[in-house]
């Protein structure tokens, strides 16, 4: 039997938890990088083959930097009931604590939270040990998205719960100290798969793509492409009672797994950006996630950088591809969340680079320029996490942190790159004690946040 792609190569899971201290550093780590880079992904226990990549148990990997030193690396499974085989569905309905907790990890209200969109978040200690399920002191009785958004001006955390059964969509807001302020069901939502969303200064933006609940899907993740599911964008005013004023606008068929950002332009239009695929691109990804033998590879079917512009006055939405590379995992300087940003970063996949390598990409939205930083055959960088060099600098005055796995040497390094110019050599490289499997999402957590 052919091994599942998510259990081989860059994605091959590690079999244990380990800690290493006093890591070797090449170059000079900027002293302002004092905190933790924590990343998360699916890492099933040895001997377990999940039916879908997303069903593998979560494992977090952390790198502790302090004042120019790399103090430690450690990896830990998120010890949820699912790690020990507890089912998500029970005779009483879903068990919101039986989470893989393997998609993302964030900090909010001084807590580290490992996230999976079908369940409650799991709290971790600063040393990555599992505390347990966190339900906002009983205020959260639904699942939580793996892609919450923090407003940089207010510190509020916006997140949602999506379900294939009613209520299909609930929007939540938490105060900066971790208190749920309000929850509201969003009318008009459907059973379409909703993985990410966006904020602007005055609105919450939801995308429903052409992927819907399908109980016949046997991978354990019951969703599939649907020509009958209309693609739509929902624009909801922020604030108490905003859900009752949501407006839904039709889009071209497609699906966007991740969004880079959204904002209101000078004319009051809602601009949303992120990679998007059509039917062929979705099926190609799905076949990989489930380990199907045919990935359905076709030229130009990968995710392309896309911009949607919704005119609230006319009710019309325009859509355009803004680049021709296959990209995913878009990031920005989070200080610009909900505001117009100039720079955007992404991971480019080798199908369209021509040299068979992955690369990090930087887009300058003001000039249209694109920079790529290829990493060479057998090397895979993680999603680039932007960390500002200090307060008050230019939007790209800071660092990109990426963990690069190298199959050539069975090793991994944390690279610190100058975000202002990807052509520059790395500012620093931290040698990690093992090959770190390819991961999904993560965050830089400064010491001041914990």
Binding site for Fe cation, by residue number, is 147, 195, 258, 441
* Alpha-carbon distance values, 102 to 63, 92, 113, 196, 326 (Å): 17, 24, 11, 15, 24
Q: How far apart are CA 90 and CA 76, in angstroms?
A: 27
Structure tokens given for 95: 């068990």
Sign of CA dihedral 338, 343, 346, 349: positive
Structure tokens given for 432: 């990690």
Sign of CA dihedral 332, 338, 342, 347: positive
Q: What is the CA radius of gyration of the chain?
A: 21
Where is the binding site, in residues? 147, 195, 258, 441
Helix H, strand E, coil C: the string for the chain is CCCCHHHCHHHCCCCCCEEEECCCEEECCCCCCCEEEEEEEECCCCCCCCCCHHHCCEEEEEEEEECCEEEEEEEEECCCHHHHCCCCEECCEECCCCCCCCCEEEEECCEEEEECCCCCCEEECCCCCEEEECCCCCCCCCCCCCCCEECCCCCCEEEEEECCCCCCEEEEEECCCCCEEEEEECCCCCCECCCCEEECCCEEEEEECCEEECCCCCCCCCEEECCCCCCEEEEEECCCCHHHHCEEEECCCCECCCCCEEEECCCCCEEEEEEEECHHHHHHHHHHHHCCCCCCCCCCCCCEEEEEEEECCCCEEEEEECCCCCEEEEECCHHHCCCCCCEEEEEECHHHCCCCCCEEEEEECCCCCEEEEECCCCEEECCCEEEECCCCCCCCCEEEEEEEEECCCCEEEEEEEECCCCCCCCCEEEECCCCCCCCCEEEEEEHHHC
Count other Cβ atoms within 10 Å, centred on residue 427: 18
């Amino acid at each position: 039997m052919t091994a599942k792609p998510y259990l081989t190569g860059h994605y091959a899971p590690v079999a244990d938890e380990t800690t290493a201290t006093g890591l070797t550093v090449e170059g000079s780590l900027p002293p302002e990088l004092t905190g933790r880079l924590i990343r998360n992904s699916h890492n099933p226990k040895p001997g377990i083959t999940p039916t879908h990549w997303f069903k593998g148990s979560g494992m977090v990997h952390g790198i502790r930097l302090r004042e120019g030193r790399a103090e430690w690396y450690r990896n830990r499974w998120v010890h949820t009931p699912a790690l020990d085989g507890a089912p998500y569905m029970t005779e009483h309905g879903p068990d919101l604590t039986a989470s893989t907790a393997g998609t993302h990890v964030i900090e909010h209200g001084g807590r580290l939270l490992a996230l999976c969109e079908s369940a409650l978040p799991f709290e971790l200690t600063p040393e990555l040990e599992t505390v347990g399920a966190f339900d906002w002191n009983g205020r959260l009785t639904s699942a939580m998205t793996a892609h919450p958004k923090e407003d940089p001006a207010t510190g509020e955390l916006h997140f949602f719960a999506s379900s294939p059964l009613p209520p299909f969509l609930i929007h939540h807001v938490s105060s900066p100290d971790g208190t749920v302020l309000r929850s509201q069901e969003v009318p008009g939502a459907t059973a379409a798969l909703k993985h990410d969303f966006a904020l602007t200064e005055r609105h919450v933006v939801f995308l429903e793509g052409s992927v819907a609940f399908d109980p016949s899907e046997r991978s354990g993740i019951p969703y599939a492409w649907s020509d009958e599911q209309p693609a739509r964008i929902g624009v909801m005013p922020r604030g108490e009672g905003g859900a009752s004023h949501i407006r839904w606008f039709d889009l071209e068929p497609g699906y966007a797994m991740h969004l880079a950002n959204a904002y209101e332009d000078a004319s009051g239009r809602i601009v949303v950006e992120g990679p998007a695929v059509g039917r062929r691109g979705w099926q190609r990804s799905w076949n990989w996630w489930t380990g199907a033998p045919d990935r359905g590879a076709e030229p130009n079917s990968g995710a392309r950088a896309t911009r949607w512009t919704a005119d609230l006055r006319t009710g019309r939405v325009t859509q355009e591809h803004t680049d021709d590379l296959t990209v995913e995992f878009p990031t920005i300087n989070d200080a610009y969340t909900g505001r117009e940003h100039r720079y955007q970063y992404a991971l480019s996949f080798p199908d369209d680079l021509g040299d068979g390598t992955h690369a990090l990409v930087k887009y300058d939205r003001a000039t249209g320029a694109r920079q790529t930083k290829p990493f060479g055959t057998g090397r895979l960088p993680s999603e680039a996490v932007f960390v500002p060099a200090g307060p008050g600098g230019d939007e790209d005055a800071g660092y990109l942190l990426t963990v690069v796995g190298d199959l050539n040497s069975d090793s991994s390094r944390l690279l610190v790159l100058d975000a202002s110019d990807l052509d520059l050599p790395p500012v620093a490289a931290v040698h990690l004690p093992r090959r770190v499997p390819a991961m999904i999402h993560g965050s830089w957590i400064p010491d001041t946040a914990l």
